[in-house]
């Protein structure tokens, strides 16, 4: 067996193992019991594939032979630098910043796919119309995913606070996309023997990437922060697709399979999220969510009734049952530990406490589950929307912490509301509702919440962490007096 | 024997179709509690793009290709390493899933409800 065919055999086996381990790892990750081991299974696949890939030097292009040592050195340096920076950042980032971190890593993947396409295009390695079209398609999707994910990151990080909207924006965006496709088509035409009269092919490549990156920015800018989970999920699927397409160009089945598995899985995840909000993906991307709701709906009666944290805490201490509805405010205030401390106090006083999680609470589906798990809240206290929604009407107190849109009754009743039809948690049906909120502002979607004005609802203003601390103090105070 | 992999035309389309179906089935029926970790996990899996970047860089024959290839590996490695780190951290929190007994107050409070003052 020659050296080259030995290398090919090893790479082939490693990629086969990687493809299997990725799918098996993802399968394990889709059940809570086996999930923690799933990432290690997938990680092993990644390690095997990366190590075997160094063998590409054996069968490298003749033209690259003089640069073998430099290329291997660059490769090791890039792996070490990129890997260690991202690794350290991933270890240090607070749990509450996870969504934007996933967006950032996802953008990197999209950028890598785009860069691979660029190497293929500049090197003139992708021959034939099919290969060129697939390369460009992967490049387009990868580049959009890169710049779009960066905007999503900036929005979640608070660097960009306001959705950027201009009249006719969607048409302008469509024009940019069409222009990108036109440049790509012209490039294919020129590269396959057509007479290129305008730009050189490398100028066309630059122009193509610039337009694709701009499109990714323009497409993401008008989308409100509340929709970012869906957007990140879309870009996650998009990056997978781009990776799969570039895998086809490189003839690498591990990339093809892993990319397409993620593309499909990400698409399904996106649909699940959009369904939870009762909106179509198209609606998320192309409708200016929250814009139509700046007026206060006329049918809202009553007023906001502020109350003291201590009073609310004591009231809950003497309730029979409490359902807690956490939202992004809990994550922002890093109050999950405090919350569980308070819950344990209530439990030791005999109160039955449950958590109700809306599928899109927080900035990412499941973010609340992760936060509560971090604080040590056991699973059997955590209930999803369908499992607990009927219990609100027999519950003494609903405690809403930093959640807004997911408990807005307008979704049930107000046809003009942008969130009409979205399944919500029926917190308003509890006998008493307390809402912990930072200020009187509107929710992330910018919609007035009729619940806050309801007869049975009191508002506790303040940072969730500080409010919970006061509640804990007041309930503890009772205990010591009683003793 | 020839171990070079040639995937073209219909074979590629079949692979894409089967892989897409596999991804769809794997994620189907996943509880909402795992949505964020799973998005993060699938984000890690497409970090395999680093392998494509390595291929491009190891075959580079101009400075331009070396620079872009370097960027590809750099970004791909970031995607893979970062994706692994955050996914592992998220999933580590689910470690206690089988041992809810660690939390004595879970579900049914053992302490009698004190009388109201």
The residues of A annotated as belonging to the active site are 405
Q: Give residue A363's pLDDT band: very low, low, confident or very high (50, 70, 90).
A: low
pLDDT attached to residue A435: 92
B91/B89 Cα distance (integer angstroms): 6
Residue A480: its pLDDT value, please? 59
Contacts of B26 in chain A (CB under 8 A): 23, 26-27, 30, 261, 265
Per-residue pLDDT tens over the stretch B10-65: 899 999 999 999 999 988 877 777 778 888 999 999 999 999 999 999 999 999 99
Mean pLDDT, residues A437-449 taken together: 70
Residue A356 contacts residue A323 (beta carbons within 8 Å): yes
Residue A294 has pLDDT above 70, yes or no: no
**Cα separation, B81 vs A183, whole angstroms:** 34
User: What tokens were used for B66?
Assistant: 């070396």
Q: Which of residues 279-338 of A touch B (CB under 8 A)?
A: 318, 320
Contact A105 B98 (CB under 8 A): no
The residue with greater pLDDT, A247 or A223, is A247
Look at A141 and A378; give whichever has higher pLDDT. Answer: A141
Average pLDDT over residues A265-291: 75
* pLDDT band per the 50, 70, 90 thresholds, residue A152: very high
Six token digits for residue B56:
């491009």
Instruction: Give the CA distances from residue A136 to residues A96, A252, A253, A290, B55, in Å, rounded to whole numbers and listed in that order.
Output: 36, 17, 19, 35, 18
Q: Which of B75, B85, B87 sits opposite A112 (nearest CB)?
A: B75
A433-446 residues labelled b (16+ CB within 10 A) or e (exposed): bbbbbeeeebbbbb
Task: Lay out the sheet containing A321-326: strands in order across.
Answer: A382-384, A352-357, A321-326, A397-401, A432-437, A457-461
Q: How far apart are CA A477 and CA B44, in angstroms?
A: 48
Please, which pLDDT band fits residue B95 given cuts at 50, 70 and 90?
low
Residue with tokens 């940019």: A176
Q: Residue A369: CA atoms inside 13 Å, Cβ hemisphere, count?
A: 27
Quick one: closest CA in B to A46, which residue? Answer: B48
Res. A126 pLDDT band, cuts 50 70 90? low
Closest-CA residue to A369 (of A32, A125, A73): A32
- Chain B residues touching A257 at Cβ < 8 A: 15, 19
A-B Cβ pairs (cutoff 8 Å, strict): 448
According to the model, what pLDDT value does residue A417 have? Answer: 72
Give the C-alpha separation, B117 to B108, whole Å: 23
| Residues of B with Cβ-Cβ distance to A116 under 8 angstroms | 49, 52-53, 55-56, 72
Average pLDDT value for chain B: 80
Q: A165 to chain B nearest CA, in Å?
A: 28
pLDDT per position as a tens digit, A159-215: 877 777 777 888 899 999 999 999 999 999 888 877 767 777 888 999 999 999 999
Contact B12/A370, CB-based, under 8 Å? Answer: no
| Tokens encoding A464 | 């969730």
Comparing CA positions, the residue from A252, A56, A239, A9 lying closest to residue B15 is A252
Predicted confidence band of residue A138 (pLDDT cuts 50, 70, 90): very high
Nearest to B40 among A81, A102, A111 (CB): A102
Sign of CA dihedral A104, A110, A116, A117: negative
Query: Which residues on chain B are in Cβ contact (under 8 Å) with A81?
Result: 74, 77
Instruction: Map chain B to HEC letters.
Output: CCCCCCCCHHHHHHHHHHHHHHHHHHHCCCCHHHHHHHHHHHHHHHHHHHHHHHHHHHCCCCHHHHHHHHHHHHHHHHHHHHHHHHHHHHHHHHHHHHCHHHCCCCCCCCCCCCCCC
Residue A342: what pLDDT? 93
- A13-57 tens-digit pLDDT: 999 999 999 999 999 988 877 888 999 999 999 999 999 999 998
Q: Which of A12, A255, A264 sits opposite B52 (nearest CB)?
A: A255
Distance CA A375, CA A371 (A): 6
CA of A245: how far to CAs of A209, A250, B24, B47, in Å? Answer: 16, 9, 18, 14
Contact A35 B117 (CB under 8 A): no
Residue in chain A closest to B101 (alpha carbons) equals A378
Distances (CA, A) of A200 to A193, A196, A221, A302, B64: 13, 7, 32, 68, 16
User: C-alpha distances in angstroms, A366 versus A98, A360, A398, B37, B46?
Assistant: 11, 7, 20, 8, 21
Query: DSSP string covering A384-423, please?
Result: EHHHHGGGGGG-SEEEEES--GGG-THHHH-TTSTTTT--
Give the dihedral sign, CA A325/A331/A337/A342. Answer: negative
Whole-number Å distance between alpha carbons of A270 and B19: 18
Instruction: Quote the CA–CA distance of B98 and A176 in Å, as a whole number.
Output: 52
The C-alpha of B97 sits at a distance from chain A's nearest C-alpha, in angstroms, of 6
Consecutive H or E run containing A437: strand A432-437
Contact A362, A402 (CB under 8 A): no
A366-418 pLDDT tens trace: 778 888 888 888 878 888 888 898 999 999 999 999 888 888 888 888 777 76
Task: Tell me: pLDDT of A443 over 70.
Answer: no
Tell me which chain A residue has its CA closest to the CA of residue B88.
A39
Instruction: Please classify residue A140 by burial: count the beta carbons closer than 10 Å to its beta carbon, then call 0-12 exposed, 13-18 middle and 19+ buried.
Output: buried
pLDDT confidence of residue B111: 39
3-state secondary structure A289-319: CCHHHCCCCCCCCCCCCECCHHHHHHHHHCC
**Range list of β-strands (E), A34-73:** none
Residue-by-residue DSSP string for A254-275: HHHHHHHHHHHHHHHHHHHHHH
Find all residues with CB under 8 Å of A73, minimum gap 6, and list them. none
Residues of A in contact with B75 (CB under 8 A): 82, 108-109, 111-112, 115
Phi, psi of A324 (to 5 degrees): -100, 130
Q: From the list A15, A32, A350, which residue is nearest B34 (CB)?
A: A32
pLDDT at A286 over 90: no
């Amino acid at each position: 067996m020659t050296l080259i065919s030995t290398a090919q055999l090893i790479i082939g086996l490693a990629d086969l193992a990687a493809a299997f381990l990725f799918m098996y790892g993802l399968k394990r990750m889709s059940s809570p019991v086996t999930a923690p081991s799933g990432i290690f299974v997938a990680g092993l696949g990644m390690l095997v594939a990366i190590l075997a890939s160094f063998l590409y030097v054996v069968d490298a292009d003749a033209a690259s032979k003089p640069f073998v040592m430099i290329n291997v050195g660059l490769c090791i340096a890039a792996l070490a630098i990129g890997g260690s920076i991202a690794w350290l950042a991933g270890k240090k980032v607070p749990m509450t910043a996870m969504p934007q971190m996933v967006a950032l890593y996802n953008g990197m993947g999209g950028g890598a796919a785009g860069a691979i396409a660029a190497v293929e295009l500049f090197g003139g390695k992708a021959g034939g119309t099919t290969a060129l079209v697939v390369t460009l398609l992967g490049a387009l999707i990868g580049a959009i995913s890169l710049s779009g994910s960066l905007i999503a990151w900036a929005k979640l990080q608070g660097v960009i606070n306001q959705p950027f909207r201009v009249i006719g924006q969607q048409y302008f965006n469509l024009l940019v996309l069409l222009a990108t496709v036109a440049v790509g088509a012209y490039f294919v035409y020129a590269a396959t023997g057509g007479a290129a009269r305008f730009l050189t092919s490398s100028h066309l490549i630059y122009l193509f990437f610039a337009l694709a990156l701009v499109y990714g920015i323009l497409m993401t800018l008008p989308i409100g922060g509340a929709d970012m989970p869906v957007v990140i999920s879309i870009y996650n699927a998009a990056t997978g697709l781009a990776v799969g397409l570039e895998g086809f160009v490189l003839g690498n089945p591990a990339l093809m399979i892993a990319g397409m598995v993620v593309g499909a899985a990400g698409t399904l995840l996106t649909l699940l999220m959009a369904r939870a909000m009762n909106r179509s993906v198209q609606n998320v991307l192309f409708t200016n969510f929250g814009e139509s709701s700046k007026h206060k709906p006329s049918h809202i009666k009553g007023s906001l009734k502020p109350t003291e944290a201590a009073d609310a805490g004591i009231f809950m201490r003497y309730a029979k049952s409490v359902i807690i509805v956490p939202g992004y405010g809990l994550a922002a205030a890093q109050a999950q530990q405090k919350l569980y401390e308070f819950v344990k106090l209530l439990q030791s006083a005999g109160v039955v406490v449950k958590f109700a999680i809306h599928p899109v609470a927080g900035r990412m589906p499941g973010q609340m589950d992760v936060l509560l798990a971090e604080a040590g809240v056991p699973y059997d206290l955590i209930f999803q929307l369908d499992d607990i929604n009927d219990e609100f009407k027999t519950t003494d107190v609903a405690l809403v912490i930093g959640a807004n849109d997911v408990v807005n009754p307008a979704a049930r009743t107000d046809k003009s509301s942008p969130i009409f039809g979205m399944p919500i948690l029926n917190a308003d049906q509890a006998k008493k509702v307390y809402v912990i909120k930072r200020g009187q502002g509107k929710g992330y979607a910018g919609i007035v919440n009729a619940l806050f004005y309801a007869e049975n609802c009191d508002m506790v203003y303040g940072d969730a962490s500080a409010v919970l601390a006061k509640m804990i103090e007041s309930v503890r105070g009772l205990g010591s007096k009683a003793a | 024997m020839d171990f070079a992999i040639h995937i073209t035309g219909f074979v590629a389309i079949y692979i894409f179709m089967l892989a897409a179906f596999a991804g769809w089935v794997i994620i189907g029926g996943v509880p909402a509690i795992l949505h964020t970790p799973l998005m993060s996990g699938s984000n890690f899996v497409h970090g395999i793009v680093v392998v494509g970047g390595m291929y491009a860089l190891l075959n580079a024959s101009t400075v331009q290709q070396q620079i872009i290839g370097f960027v590809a590996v750099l970004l791909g490695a970031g995607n893979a390493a970062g994706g692994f780190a955050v996914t592992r951290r998220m999933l580590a929190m689910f470690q206690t899933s089988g041992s809810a007994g660690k939390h004595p107050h879970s579900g049914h409070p053992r302490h009698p409800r004190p009388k109201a003052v």
